[in-house]
Amino acid sequence: MSRLIARQATASAETNDGVAGECRPGCGACCIAPSISSAIPGMPDGKPAGVRCIQLDENNLCRLFGDPRRPAACHRFVFDADLCGTHRDDALARITRLESLT
């Protein structure tokens, strides 16, 4: 995952009331749009941008969520309404755009 995306997600992970936003279950945009340079179980060379992570299940849920094998870049990615928008398509478009800028 690009450093820009990880920084953006980390920098704005809290809403105005100080409570972290919540990811939309079944979105999976953060597991498709960005590149991930570190190894992922089943993808030893990481994954290129736009490629579905092998650990994303048929319901677009991460099989490694809560698992210590989950890459640090994935763990650092936090839902942000400005980045993820109001729909999965927003998230895919915005994350893809950020990825293309890095």
pLDDT per residue as tens digits for the range 50-74: 999 999 999 999 999 999 999 999 9
The tally of domains found in the chain comes to 1
| Global confidence as pTM | 0.76
Say which residue the tokens 């953060």 belong to.
30
Segment 13-21 shows an average pLDDT of 40
DSSP secondary-structure letter at 79?
-
User: How far apart, in whole angstroms, are the C-alpha atoms of residue 78 and residue 30?
Assistant: 9
User: How far apart, in whole angstroms, are the C-alpha atoms of residue 96 and residue 50?
Assistant: 7
* Structural domain boundaries, residue 29: 3-101
User: How far apart, in whole angstroms, are the C-alpha atoms of residue 80 and residue 83?
Assistant: 5
